Structure 1
Amino acid sequence: MKKSIAIFAAAAVLLSSAALAQSVGEKTGVNSALGISPSTADFVKEAAISDMMEIESSKIAQQKGSAEEKKFAGQMITDHGKTSSELKSMVGSGDVKAEIPAALDSSSQSKLDKLRNAKPEDFSGQYDSMQVSAHKDAVSLFERYAKGGDNPKLKDWAGKTLPALQHHLEMAQQMEKNRK
Protein backbone atom coordinates (compact mmCIF):
# COMPACT_ATOMS: atom_id res chain seq x y z
CA MET A 1 0.00 0.00 0.00
CA LYS A 2 2.80 2.44 0.90
CA LYS A 3 4.52 1.59 -2.36
CA SER A 4 1.33 2.45 -4.32
CA ILE A 5 1.03 5.78 -2.54
CA ALA A 6 4.67 6.57 -3.25
CA ILE A 7 4.26 5.71 -6.93
CA PHE A 8 1.10 7.82 -7.15
CA ALA A 9 2.83 10.74 -5.40
CA ALA A 10 5.81 10.50 -7.76
CA ALA A 11 3.49 10.47 -10.75
CA ALA A 12 1.63 13.51 -9.41
CA VAL A 13 4.90 15.40 -9.00
CA LEU A 14 5.98 14.52 -12.53
CA LEU A 15 2.62 15.55 -13.94
CA SER A 16 2.50 18.82 -12.04
CA SER A 17 4.67 20.57 -14.60
CA ALA A 18 2.08 21.78 -17.11
CA ALA A 19 4.31 21.63 -20.16
CA LEU A 20 5.58 18.16 -19.35
CA ALA A 21 2.18 16.81 -18.38
CA GLN A 22 0.48 18.08 -21.48
CA SER A 23 2.87 16.98 -24.21
CA VAL A 24 4.11 13.73 -22.71
CA GLY A 25 0.68 12.99 -21.26
CA GLU A 26 -1.16 13.42 -24.55
CA LYS A 27 1.40 11.33 -26.41
CA THR A 28 1.21 8.47 -23.93
CA GLY A 29 -2.48 8.59 -23.08
CA VAL A 30 -1.73 9.51 -19.46
CA ASN A 31 -3.82 12.70 -19.68
CA SER A 32 -6.80 10.77 -20.96
CA ALA A 33 -6.50 8.14 -18.24
CA LEU A 34 -6.28 10.83 -15.56
CA GLY A 35 -8.89 13.09 -17.17
CA ILE A 36 -6.41 15.97 -17.57
CA SER A 37 -7.21 18.62 -20.16
CA PRO A 38 -4.69 18.84 -22.99
CA SER A 39 -2.79 22.05 -23.67
CA THR A 40 -4.16 24.16 -26.51
CA ALA A 41 -1.22 23.18 -28.72
CA ASP A 42 -1.73 19.47 -28.02
CA PHE A 43 -5.49 19.72 -28.52
CA VAL A 44 -5.10 21.43 -31.90
CA LYS A 45 -2.45 18.93 -33.02
CA GLU A 46 -4.49 15.88 -31.94
CA ALA A 47 -7.77 17.24 -33.35
CA ALA A 48 -6.14 18.10 -36.68
CA ILE A 49 -4.46 14.70 -37.00
CA SER A 50 -7.72 13.01 -36.04
CA ASP A 51 -9.57 14.92 -38.78
CA MET A 52 -6.91 14.07 -41.37
CA MET A 53 -7.00 10.42 -40.36
CA GLU A 54 -10.81 10.27 -40.52
CA ILE A 55 -10.89 11.86 -43.96
CA GLU A 56 -8.11 9.72 -45.44
CA SER A 57 -9.30 6.40 -43.95
CA SER A 58 -12.84 7.17 -45.10
CA LYS A 59 -11.65 7.84 -48.66
CA ILE A 60 -10.25 4.31 -48.63
CA ALA A 61 -13.53 2.99 -47.19
CA GLN A 62 -15.45 4.61 -50.02
CA GLN A 63 -13.45 2.41 -52.40
CA LYS A 64 -13.16 -0.82 -50.40
CA GLY A 65 -16.00 -0.80 -47.86
CA SER A 66 -19.48 -2.26 -47.66
CA ALA A 67 -22.52 -0.10 -48.49
CA GLU A 68 -22.89 0.78 -44.79
CA GLU A 69 -19.20 1.70 -44.51
CA LYS A 70 -19.37 3.81 -47.68
CA LYS A 71 -22.32 5.76 -46.27
CA PHE A 72 -20.56 6.22 -42.92
CA ALA A 73 -17.34 7.23 -44.71
CA GLY A 74 -19.17 9.88 -46.70
CA GLN A 75 -20.48 11.44 -43.51
CA MET A 76 -17.01 11.29 -41.91
CA ILE A 77 -15.45 13.09 -44.90
CA THR A 78 -18.12 15.81 -44.75
CA ASP A 79 -18.17 16.26 -40.97
CA HIS A 80 -14.42 16.04 -40.39
CA GLY A 81 -13.78 18.29 -43.37
CA LYS A 82 -16.02 20.87 -41.69
CA THR A 83 -14.29 20.61 -38.29
CA SER A 84 -10.90 20.72 -39.98
CA SER A 85 -11.85 23.97 -41.76
CA GLU A 86 -13.23 25.48 -38.54
CA LEU A 87 -10.05 24.61 -36.64
CA LYS A 88 -7.83 26.02 -39.40
CA SER A 89 -9.91 29.20 -39.41
CA MET A 90 -9.51 29.72 -35.64
CA VAL A 91 -5.75 29.18 -35.87
CA GLY A 92 -5.43 31.30 -39.03
CA SER A 93 -7.33 34.22 -37.47
CA GLY A 94 -5.02 34.25 -34.46
CA ASP A 95 -7.85 33.39 -32.04
CA VAL A 96 -5.98 30.17 -31.23
CA LYS A 97 -2.20 30.19 -30.83
CA ALA A 98 -1.13 26.79 -32.13
CA GLU A 99 0.18 25.07 -35.22
CA ILE A 100 -1.79 22.74 -37.43
CA PRO A 101 0.37 19.80 -38.50
CA ALA A 102 0.92 19.56 -42.25
CA ALA A 103 0.82 15.77 -42.29
CA LEU A 104 -0.16 12.73 -40.26
CA ASP A 105 2.18 11.57 -37.51
CA SER A 106 4.03 8.29 -38.09
CA SER A 107 1.61 6.22 -35.99
CA SER A 108 -1.45 7.46 -37.90
CA GLN A 109 0.32 7.06 -41.24
CA SER A 110 1.19 3.47 -40.34
CA LYS A 111 -2.48 2.71 -39.51
CA LEU A 112 -3.57 4.29 -42.76
CA ASP A 113 -1.02 2.27 -44.76
CA LYS A 114 -2.20 -0.93 -43.07
CA LEU A 115 -5.81 -0.09 -43.96
CA ARG A 116 -4.88 0.78 -47.55
CA ASN A 117 -3.09 -2.58 -47.92
CA ALA A 118 -5.76 -4.67 -46.18
CA LYS A 119 -7.09 -7.68 -48.05
CA PRO A 120 -10.75 -7.28 -49.02
CA GLU A 121 -11.84 -9.86 -46.42
CA ASP A 122 -9.92 -8.01 -43.68
CA PHE A 123 -10.86 -4.45 -44.57
CA SER A 124 -14.16 -4.14 -42.69
CA GLY A 125 -12.76 -5.49 -39.45
CA GLN A 126 -9.86 -3.05 -39.59
CA TYR A 127 -11.85 0.00 -40.67
CA ASP A 128 -14.74 -0.55 -38.25
CA SER A 129 -12.54 -1.11 -35.21
CA MET A 130 -10.32 1.82 -36.25
CA GLN A 131 -13.39 4.08 -36.34
CA VAL A 132 -14.59 2.97 -32.90
CA SER A 133 -11.14 3.48 -31.39
CA ALA A 134 -10.53 6.83 -33.12
CA HIS A 135 -13.90 8.21 -32.04
CA LYS A 136 -13.44 7.06 -28.43
CA ASP A 137 -10.13 8.96 -28.43
CA ALA A 138 -11.71 12.02 -30.06
CA VAL A 139 -14.62 12.08 -27.60
CA SER A 140 -12.16 11.90 -24.69
CA LEU A 141 -9.97 14.65 -26.16
CA PHE A 142 -12.88 17.00 -26.85
CA GLU A 143 -14.58 16.31 -23.49
CA ARG A 144 -11.39 17.08 -21.59
CA TYR A 145 -10.67 20.28 -23.52
CA ALA A 146 -14.31 21.45 -23.30
CA LYS A 147 -14.14 21.05 -19.50
CA GLY A 148 -10.69 22.45 -18.81
CA GLY A 149 -9.14 24.01 -21.90
CA ASP A 150 -7.34 27.32 -21.54
CA ASN A 151 -8.56 29.03 -24.74
CA PRO A 152 -12.20 30.15 -24.29
CA LYS A 153 -13.08 30.18 -28.01
CA LEU A 154 -11.53 26.76 -28.63
CA LYS A 155 -13.08 25.39 -25.43
CA ASP A 156 -16.53 26.52 -26.61
CA TRP A 157 -15.92 24.99 -30.06
CA ALA A 158 -14.84 21.69 -28.50
CA GLY A 159 -18.05 21.60 -26.47
CA LYS A 160 -20.20 22.34 -29.52
CA THR A 161 -18.38 19.72 -31.63
CA LEU A 162 -18.59 16.98 -28.99
CA PRO A 163 -22.19 15.82 -29.70
CA ALA A 164 -21.34 15.10 -33.35
CA LEU A 165 -18.29 13.07 -32.29
CA GLN A 166 -20.40 11.13 -29.78
CA HIS A 167 -22.88 10.40 -32.56
CA HIS A 168 -20.04 9.25 -34.84
CA LEU A 169 -18.89 6.89 -32.07
CA GLU A 170 -22.39 5.42 -31.73
CA MET A 171 -22.60 4.97 -35.51
CA ALA A 172 -19.17 3.29 -35.62
CA GLN A 173 -20.10 0.96 -32.76
CA GLN A 174 -23.33 0.01 -34.53
CA MET A 175 -21.46 -0.55 -37.79
CA GLU A 176 -19.00 -2.84 -36.00
CA LYS A 177 -21.87 -4.68 -34.29
CA ASN A 178 -23.72 -5.16 -37.60
CA ARG A 179 -20.63 -6.74 -39.13
CA LYS A 180 -20.45 -9.47 -36.48
Structure 2
Amino acid sequence: MKPLLLVSLSAAALCVSACGKKAEPVENTAATSAAEPAALAPAVLSPGQAFANTAAASDAFEIETSKLAASKAQSAKIKSFAEQMIKAHTDSTAKLKTAAAAATPAIAPDAALTPAQQQELADLQTKSGAEFDRAYARLQADGHQKTLDALKAYAASGDVAPLKAFASELVPIVTAHLNMAKGL
Protein backbone atom coordinates (compact mmCIF):
# COMPACT_ATOMS: atom_id res chain seq x y z
CA MET A 1 0.00 0.00 0.00
CA LYS A 2 2.90 2.39 0.74
CA PRO A 3 4.22 2.27 -2.86
CA LEU A 4 0.76 3.13 -4.20
CA LEU A 5 0.49 6.04 -1.76
CA LEU A 6 3.96 7.27 -2.76
CA VAL A 7 3.08 7.12 -6.48
CA SER A 8 -0.22 8.92 -5.85
CA LEU A 9 1.46 11.67 -3.85
CA SER A 10 4.16 12.09 -6.52
CA ALA A 11 1.54 12.36 -9.25
CA ALA A 12 -0.44 14.88 -7.21
CA ALA A 13 2.68 16.95 -6.61
CA LEU A 14 3.42 17.02 -10.34
CA CYS A 15 -0.14 18.09 -11.13
CA VAL A 16 -0.06 20.88 -8.55
CA SER A 17 3.32 22.14 -9.75
CA ALA A 18 2.02 22.24 -13.33
CA CYS A 19 -1.14 24.18 -12.45
CA GLY A 20 -1.20 27.73 -13.70
CA LYS A 21 1.56 27.20 -16.25
CA LYS A 22 0.78 27.85 -19.90
CA ALA A 23 1.55 25.11 -22.36
CA GLU A 24 4.56 25.93 -24.44
CA PRO A 25 3.82 25.91 -28.18
CA VAL A 26 5.43 23.14 -30.17
CA GLU A 27 7.26 24.48 -33.16
CA ASN A 28 6.65 22.61 -36.40
CA THR A 29 9.33 23.86 -38.75
CA ALA A 30 10.32 22.29 -42.01
CA ALA A 31 14.00 22.58 -41.17
CA THR A 32 15.81 21.87 -37.92
CA SER A 33 19.38 22.49 -36.96
CA ALA A 34 21.73 19.53 -36.98
CA ALA A 35 22.96 20.72 -33.58
CA GLU A 36 19.44 20.63 -32.14
CA PRO A 37 19.06 17.86 -29.57
CA ALA A 38 16.68 15.06 -30.53
CA ALA A 39 14.52 15.84 -27.50
CA LEU A 40 13.79 19.29 -28.95
CA ALA A 41 13.08 18.09 -32.49
CA PRO A 42 9.76 19.22 -33.93
CA ALA A 43 6.73 16.97 -33.79
CA VAL A 44 6.12 14.62 -36.69
CA LEU A 45 4.02 16.35 -39.32
CA SER A 46 0.92 14.88 -40.92
CA PRO A 47 1.34 13.97 -44.61
CA GLY A 48 -0.89 16.91 -45.57
CA GLN A 49 1.12 19.38 -43.51
CA ALA A 50 4.41 17.98 -44.82
CA PHE A 51 3.20 18.31 -48.42
CA ALA A 52 1.91 21.86 -47.83
CA ASN A 53 5.27 22.83 -46.31
CA THR A 54 7.18 21.26 -49.21
CA ALA A 55 5.02 23.06 -51.78
CA ALA A 56 5.28 26.38 -49.93
CA ALA A 57 9.06 26.10 -49.58
CA SER A 58 9.35 25.20 -53.26
CA ASP A 59 7.36 28.30 -54.24
CA ALA A 60 9.43 30.49 -51.91
CA PHE A 61 12.67 29.09 -53.35
CA GLU A 62 11.54 29.62 -56.95
CA ILE A 63 10.46 33.19 -56.16
CA GLU A 64 13.69 34.09 -54.34
CA THR A 65 16.01 32.59 -56.96
CA SER A 66 13.94 34.17 -59.74
CA LYS A 67 14.03 37.62 -58.11
CA LEU A 68 17.78 37.24 -58.01
CA ALA A 69 17.83 36.18 -61.67
CA ALA A 70 15.56 39.04 -62.73
CA SER A 71 18.18 41.50 -61.49
CA LYS A 72 21.41 39.55 -61.97
CA ALA A 73 21.05 37.32 -65.04
CA GLN A 74 23.03 38.09 -68.15
CA SER A 75 20.66 36.41 -70.63
CA ALA A 76 17.40 38.08 -71.63
CA LYS A 77 15.88 34.59 -71.91
CA ILE A 78 16.80 33.84 -68.28
CA LYS A 79 15.41 37.20 -67.12
CA SER A 80 12.15 36.60 -68.98
CA PHE A 81 11.83 33.10 -67.52
CA ALA A 82 12.56 34.46 -64.04
CA GLU A 83 9.76 37.04 -64.33
CA GLN A 84 7.36 34.28 -65.41
CA MET A 85 8.41 32.14 -62.44
CA ILE A 86 7.87 34.98 -59.94
CA LYS A 87 4.30 35.43 -61.18
CA ALA A 88 3.55 31.70 -61.51
CA HIS A 89 4.88 30.79 -58.08
CA THR A 90 3.17 33.75 -56.42
CA ASP A 91 -0.08 32.46 -57.96
CA SER A 92 0.76 28.91 -56.85
CA THR A 93 1.31 30.10 -53.28
CA ALA A 94 -2.11 31.77 -53.27
CA LYS A 95 -3.75 28.56 -54.56
CA LEU A 96 -1.89 26.49 -51.98
CA LYS A 97 -3.06 28.75 -49.15
CA THR A 98 -6.66 28.49 -50.38
CA ALA A 99 -6.47 24.68 -50.61
CA ALA A 100 -4.79 24.39 -47.22
CA ALA A 101 -7.40 26.63 -45.60
CA ALA A 102 -10.15 24.42 -47.06
CA ALA A 103 -8.69 21.36 -45.31
CA THR A 104 -10.35 20.04 -42.17
CA PRO A 105 -8.69 20.99 -39.91
CA ALA A 106 -7.14 23.91 -41.78
CA ILE A 107 -3.45 23.67 -42.57
CA ALA A 108 -1.01 26.60 -42.47
CA PRO A 109 1.78 26.03 -45.01
CA ASP A 110 5.27 26.85 -43.72
CA ALA A 111 7.33 28.42 -46.49
CA ALA A 112 10.66 28.15 -44.66
CA LEU A 113 13.41 27.11 -47.04
CA THR A 114 15.10 23.80 -46.32
CA PRO A 115 18.80 23.92 -45.42
CA ALA A 116 19.61 22.61 -48.92
CA GLN A 117 17.53 25.38 -50.52
CA GLN A 118 19.18 27.99 -48.30
CA GLN A 119 22.61 26.74 -49.36
CA GLU A 120 21.67 26.69 -53.05
CA LEU A 121 20.36 30.25 -52.81
CA ALA A 122 23.52 31.38 -51.01
CA ASP A 123 25.70 29.70 -53.65
CA LEU A 124 23.69 31.30 -56.46
CA GLN A 125 24.18 34.75 -54.91
CA THR A 126 27.96 34.36 -55.29
CA LYS A 127 27.81 33.81 -59.05
CA SER A 128 27.67 36.29 -61.90
CA GLY A 129 27.49 36.44 -65.67
CA ALA A 130 27.18 33.25 -67.69
CA GLU A 131 28.10 31.20 -64.61
CA PHE A 132 25.05 32.64 -62.81
CA ASP A 133 22.79 31.90 -65.78
CA ARG A 134 23.94 28.26 -65.97
CA ALA A 135 23.56 27.77 -62.21
CA TYR A 136 20.08 29.35 -62.18
CA ALA A 137 18.93 27.21 -65.13
CA ARG A 138 20.22 24.06 -63.41
CA LEU A 139 18.51 24.97 -60.12
CA GLN A 140 15.25 25.65 -61.94
CA ALA A 141 15.33 22.30 -63.76
CA ASP A 142 16.25 20.40 -60.58
CA GLY A 143 13.73 22.27 -58.42
CA HIS A 144 10.87 21.84 -60.85
CA GLN A 145 11.64 18.13 -61.21
CA LYS A 146 11.54 17.67 -57.42
CA THR A 147 8.32 19.66 -57.19
CA LEU A 148 6.74 17.69 -60.03
CA ASP A 149 7.62 14.43 -58.29
CA ALA A 150 6.08 15.66 -55.02
CA LEU A 151 2.93 16.88 -56.77
CA LYS A 152 2.42 13.62 -58.66
CA ALA A 153 2.95 11.56 -55.50
CA TYR A 154 0.52 13.64 -53.45
CA ALA A 155 -2.05 13.80 -56.26
CA ALA A 156 -1.97 9.99 -56.37
CA SER A 157 -2.05 9.18 -52.67
CA GLY A 158 -2.49 12.35 -50.62
CA ASP A 159 -4.71 12.35 -47.56
CA VAL A 160 -6.27 15.85 -47.79
CA ALA A 161 -8.77 16.29 -50.65
CA PRO A 162 -8.24 20.04 -51.29
CA LEU A 163 -4.46 19.53 -51.36
CA LYS A 164 -4.83 16.53 -53.69
CA ALA A 165 -6.88 18.71 -56.05
CA PHE A 166 -4.24 21.46 -55.81
CA ALA A 167 -1.47 18.96 -56.62
CA SER A 168 -3.39 17.54 -59.58
CA GLU A 169 -4.09 21.03 -60.93
CA LEU A 170 -0.42 22.00 -60.74
CA VAL A 171 1.08 18.91 -62.40
CA PRO A 172 0.64 20.20 -66.00
CA ILE A 173 1.79 23.70 -65.03
CA VAL A 174 4.96 22.46 -63.33
CA THR A 175 5.58 20.07 -66.22
CA ALA A 176 5.52 23.06 -68.58
CA HIS A 177 7.89 25.00 -66.27
CA LEU A 178 10.25 22.02 -66.14
CA ASN A 179 10.33 21.80 -69.93
CA MET A 180 10.96 25.55 -70.17
CA ALA A 181 13.75 25.31 -67.57
CA LYS A 182 15.40 22.45 -69.47
CA GLY A 183 15.40 24.68 -72.56
CA LEU A 184 17.25 27.57 -70.91
Would the TM-score normalized by the shorter structure come out above 0.5?
A: yes
Structure 1: segments with no counterpart, 5+ residues: 1-22, 24-37, 176-180
Q: 1:169 to 1:152 in 2, by over 3 A?
A: same
What secondary structure sits across from 1:101 in the alignment?
coil
Q: CA deviation at 1:92?
A: 3.5
Identity %: 32
1:132 and 2:141 correspond = yes
1:162 and 2:182 correspond = no
1:106 and 2:115 correspond = yes
Residue of structure 2 aligned with 1:43, choices 28, 37, 51: 51
Q: Is this contact kept in 2: 1:48–1:101, CA < 8 A?
A: yes
Residue of structure 1 aligned with 2:77, choices 61, 68, 85: 68
| Residue number in structure 2 paired with 1:84 | 93
Q: What is the letter of the counterpart of residue 80 of structure 1? A: H
Q: Is this contact kept in 1: 2:137–2:181, CA < 8 A?
A: yes
Q: 1:131 to 1:102 in 2, by over 3 A?
A: closer
| Residue number in structure 2 paired with 1:14 | none
Q: 1:56 to 1:106 in 2, by over 3 A?
A: same
1:168 and 1:79 map into 2 onto residues whose CA distance is 9
Q: Which aligned runs of 4 or more in structure 1 are off by greater than 2 angstroms?
A: 89-99
2:68 and 2:60 map into 1 onto residues whose CA distance is 13
TM norm structure 1: 0.71
Which structure is higher in helix share? 1
Q: What is the letter of the counterpart of residue 161 of structure 1? A: L
Q: CA deviation at 1:122?
A: 1.3
What secondary structure sits across from 1:104 in the alignment?
coil
Q: Deviations over 1:36-67 (max 9, x none)?
A: xx921211111000000000000011011110
Instruction: State which structure, 1 or 2, has the greater radius of gyration over its C-alpha atoms.
Output: 2
2:99 and 2:174 map into 1 onto residues whose CA distance is 19
Q: 1:172 to 1:44 in 2, by over 3 A?
A: same
Q: Is this contact kept in 2: 1:90–1:96, CA < 8 A?
A: no
What secondary structure sits across from 2:99 in the alignment?
helix
Q: 1:45 to 1:102 in 2, by over 3 A?
A: closer
Q: Is this contact kept in 1: 2:99–2:166, CA < 8 A?
A: no
- Aligned residue pairs total 139
What secondary structure sits across from 1:76 in the alignment?
helix
Q: Is this contact kept in 2: 1:48–1:100, CA < 8 A?
A: yes
What secondary structure sits across from 2:70 in the alignment?
helix
CA RMSD of aligned residues (A): 1.9
Structure 2: segments with no counterpart, 5+ residues: 1-29, 31-45
Q: What is the letter of the counterpart of residue 137 of structure 1? A: K
